[in-house]
Structure 1
Amino acid sequence: MRTMKLGAAGPTVPVVAVGCMRINNLDGPAAERFVQAALDLGANFFDHADIYGDGACEEIFAKAVHMSPSVREKLILQSKCGIVKNPRMFDFSRRHIIESVEGSLRRLGTEYLDVLLLHRPDALMEPDEVASAFEELAAAGKVRHFGVSNQNPGQMKLLQRAMGSRPIVANQLQLSITNCNMISNGFNVNMENDSALCRDGSVLDFCRLHDITIQPWSPFQYGFFEGVFLGSDKFPALNRVIDEIAERHGVSNTTVAIAWILRHPAHMQPVAGTMNPGRLADICRAADVTLSREEWYAIYQAAGNVLP
């Protein structure tokens, strides 16, 4: 698997992350086969969150990988915290962050996380309090790198000011061929159309300027978990173009959809959510496929995105 640097100061990681949100849908033997398949592909970066399966996903993963010190050395583990289900709210308090990390470490059977992300923005965030939690976790050797998820440039700048020299290494954001406003608004500067609406504060440019790796989540979804665009009769033109390009490269349509993201010069790290080893192999194969400029733009426009 081709690798990349996570942010300016993060670890060297595979260009595809393995999302573990659905690993609790697998029984023990199937989870073990899936994790081993990922490792065989060189996909040793696993993305978790304390709320996935109410913590069960981290436990299932640890059992599936047969966690031990020698196994841990071969893994890159990322988890997220900050979402509270009951009562429904977000919590970036020092106490919650530290307790969440302790819980993830216990469930994963490890002494440290390579990366910790704040899951969704907390309107009541006190940046100095978050930075204090990060410092405590880093000093104790429990978290090595920190990042965010679903945050805009202003929110990141506010947090980074409190973090000082410790950089934000990643920002996990929704992005797919059909959900690409962060790209589209850059084409439509000063235009009077919906695509010109900047809904994220130019987060794509901000992350590139500050060496923050974007980790696209739901790279095959359209809308907000409305469905997968591949094979959907809602996107006939897009599927036709993707299938033609896939045939040209001798790969699957799944591979092309991820290759489209990897072709962007921001050097993103898409998060694959599949629990199917064969589909994961197709996703990872995108690391070896480079779309031409003509192919990238053909896919972009076939999804209904209009160039000015």
Structure 2
Amino acid sequence: MKKIQVSQTELKVSEIGLGLMRMNSLTDEEAKKVIQTAVDNGITFFDHADIYGGGESERIFGRAFSEMGIARDAVHVQSKTGIVPGKMYDFSKEHIIQSVEESLERLKVDYLDALLLHRPDTLVEPEEVAEAFDLLKQQGKVRYFGVSNQNPMQIELLKKYVKQPLVFNQLQMSVSHHPMIDAGLNVNRSNELSLDRDGSLLDYSRLHNMTIQPWSPFQAGNGNSGIVFDHPEYKELNVVIERMAEEKSVSREAIAIAWLLRHPAKMQPIIGSMNPERIAATAKASDVSMSRLEWYELYRSGGFQLP
């Protein structure tokens, strides 16, 4: 597994991360197998959120990891905060600090390598966020900070007050869902793909040394219509994925992740499988070489025409 250097930090992390949203469905022994499979295949970055499984995903991970004998500094543990499910978003100082303390207790670790603000809070008071980050940093409870699902101006507002660099932005992206890429390819056009919905977020992230963490990298489009593999709306894309998988002797999942890794933005995809065999197969994406022509063929086969 290749490593990527996270700009503005000392973090050198696996270029693929494992998201633990579904870990609440596992027993402790099953969780140990998932964690061990990931580590054995070079995936040492674990992504959590305080709301995953109502906190149970972090709790199961914490129990399993603490019994496995893996050194804490051999892995990177990230969590997210700011969503109060079904009620509101909350970036208040009190909520951020309480959330981190509860996550640390559930995870059975002394610190987080990274903390992300999960979804934008329109009532955000960035001064409070700055105070929370300062305290968590001073106490050694969080090493680095970032955001999730935020646009450039929301990030700039935070940066006006927050002293620490914001080094991650977790955003939905897959081989069939990539509006940030579409808008950049269709500049000065009047078609649907030319709409810039995110404020040139892809280029902004590269300019400001933010590592994009694509989430739901196998999702079919932007809805809840399942994964892209064998999806009836992406027949041609699946043909190309399967052909490349056969040519490169890897899984379909590895091809889909390799497509993201090929982008020079140095993204860190977050996969969410709790299937050890699929985790191992997907990890091979790190070793897949993809040409420029192959990358664009996958893009076009998803039904996205070049201008």
- TM-score (normalizing by structure 2): 0.97
Amino acid of the structure 2 residue aligned with 1:182: M
Query: Which structure 2 residues correspond to residues 157-168 of structure 1 after superposition, within 5 A?
Result: 157-164=156-163, 166-168=164-166
In 1: Cα distance, 2:263 partner to 2:77 partner? 25
Query: Which structure 2 residues correspond to residues 85-104 of structure 1 after superposition, within 5 A?
Result: 85=85, 88-104=87-103
2:189 corresponds to which of 188, 191, 194: 191
CA contact (8 A) 1:10 1:169 kept: no
How far did residue 68 of structure 1 move?
Answer: 8.2
Give the secondary structure class of the aligned counterpart of 2:136: helix
Amino acid of the structure 2 residue aligned with 1:171: N
In 1: Cα distance, 2:273 partner to 2:134 partner? 34
Give the secondary structure class of the aligned counterpart of 2:115: strand
CA contact (8 A) 1:7 1:170 kept: no
**Pairing 1:217–2:215 present:** yes
CA contact (8 A) 2:32 2:68 kept: no
Amino acid of the structure 1 residue aligned with 2:202: L
Alignment-derived partner of residue 137 in structure 1: 136
Alignment-derived partner of residue 240 in structure 2: 241
Amino acid of the structure 2 residue aligned with 1:181: P
CA contact (8 A) 1:7 1:168 kept: no
Q: Identity of aligned pairs, percent? A: 50
Alignment-derived partner of residue 124 in structure 1: 123
Alignment-derived partner of residue 83 in structure 2: 83
Alignment-derived partner of residue 176 in structure 1: 174
Pick which of 248-257 and 295-304 moved more. Answer: 248-257
Alignment-derived partner of residue 109 in structure 1: 108
In 2: Cα distance, 1:69 partner to 1:131 partner? 35
Pick which of 123-132 and 1-10 moved more. Answer: 1-10
How far did residue 244 of structure 1 move?
Answer: 1.0
In 1: Cα distance, 2:176 partner to 2:161 partner? 35
Amino acid of the structure 2 residue aligned with 1:15: E
With over 3 angstroms needed to count, the CA separation of the structure-2 counterparts of 1:72 and 1:273, relative to structure 1, is: same
CA contact (8 A) 1:10 1:145 kept: no
How far did residue 231 of structure 1 move?
Answer: 1.7
In 1: Cα distance, 2:162 partner to 2:36 partner? 36
Alignment-derived partner of residue 267 in structure 1: 266
Alignment-derived partner of residue 55 in structure 2: 55
In 2: Cα distance, 1:141 partner to 1:66 partner? 20
Q: Deviations over 1:65-102 (max 9, x none)?
A: 1258963222210000000025x100000000000000
Please tell me the root mean square deviation across aligned C-alpha atoms, in Å: 1.3
How far did residue 8 of structure 1 move?
Answer: 2.5
In 1: Cα distance, 2:188 partner to 2:10 partner? 36
In 2: Cα distance, 1:211 partner to 1:75 partner? 22
CA contact (8 A) 1:36 1:65 kept: no
Alignment-derived partner of residue 294 in structure 2: 295
Q: Deviations over 1:20-55 (max 9, x none)?
A: 000111122211111111111121110000000111
In 2: Cα distance, 1:272 partner to 1:305 partner? 24
In 2: Cα distance, 1:217 partner to 1:266 partner? 15
Aligned residues: 306
Structure 2's unaligned 5+ residue stretches are: none
Amino acid of the structure 2 residue aligned with 1:249: K
Structure 1's unaligned 5+ residue stretches are: none
With over 3 angstroms needed to count, the CA separation of the structure-2 counterparts of 1:67 and 1:203, relative to structure 1, is: farther
Give the secondary structure class of the aligned counterpart of 1:229: coil
List, as ranges, runs of 4+ consecutive aligned residues in structure 1 with deviation greater than 3 Å. 67-70
In 2: Cα distance, 1:161 partner to 1:135 partner? 14
CA contact (8 A) 1:44 1:75 kept: yes
